[in-house]
Chains A and B, each alone.
Chain A
Amino acid sequence: MDNIDQIVDARGLACPMPIVKLSQAMTGMEVGQTVEVTATDHSFVPDIEAWCRKTGHQLIEVNEAEEEIKAYVKKTK
């Protein structure tokens, strides 16, 4: 994944912190920029999909591995 503008490390954090940290990072980003979020809480997979559906930001990719999940979200507005 190239063009990552911001990184959010939410590893080890439980719900709701991964989306809280993502949301806080988003407020400081420009439209069109991409954030990479890493989490270990597996509920982050359905949650990032729901979060993007609700907020309208674009979910580019989710990679779920045994030990961690990486998601890439583009700010759309």
Chain B
Amino acid sequence: MSEDQERVSIVLFSGELDKAMAAFIIATGAAATGMRVDMFFTFWGMSVLRKKGVKVEGKSLIEKMFGWMLPKGADRLALSKMHMAGMGTMMMKNVMKQKRVASLPELIEIAKQLGVNLHACEMSMGVMGIRREELLDEVKDIVGVATYVDDASRSKITLFI
């Protein structure tokens, strides 16, 4: 990766399917155009990075509650509108499949193939009691705001979704 390569940095703050898909479509599109892409996941966006079926011992009650209430991974997110207790999201996923729109897990896999860097927010992990082993292996590192600011200041495009 050369120093003069154009860069994009994207913050994914939201934990909803539609917004996460928008973030990954832009990320993969930019990477396919030869740009270096860094995605920063924070707060509700952390749900996208959750790995399925990982049990961690020694969590406090509040940390456990976060674990139960937050979506358990990229294929469990709900739409930001018209979720309708799951019906709307299910219908939307079916329509997208028919129209051959890549699913969120597929987009994450493509992002990985294209070398998109995924960064997790330390502070959000602390608040929600999320441990490194609960996150996808693709996550490059766990960082703070200074890493984002440094990255964004060298990016041509920066987005907060």
Task: Identify the A interface with B (CB < 8 A).
Answer: 12-17, 19-20, 22-24, 51, 54-55
Query: Contact: A16 with B28, CB < 8 Å?
Result: yes
Interface residue range, chain B: 10 to 19
A35–chain B nearest beta-carbon distance, Å: 14
Q: Which residue of A lies closest to B106 (CB)?
A: A17
Residues of A within 8 A of B2 (CB): none
Query: Contact: B34 with A16, CB < 8 Å?
Result: no
Query: Contact: B101 with A20, CB < 8 Å?
Result: no
A13–chain B nearest beta-carbon distance, Å: 5
Query: Contact: A20 with B32, CB < 8 Å?
Result: yes
Query: Contact: B32 with A19, CB < 8 Å?
Result: yes
Q: A23-B114, A24-B113 are in contact. Are A16 and B32 (CB under 8 A)?
A: yes
Query: Contact: A14 with B29, CB < 8 Å?
Result: no
B55 contacts partner chain A, Cβ-Cβ < 8 Å: no
Residues of A within 8 A of B110 (CB): 20
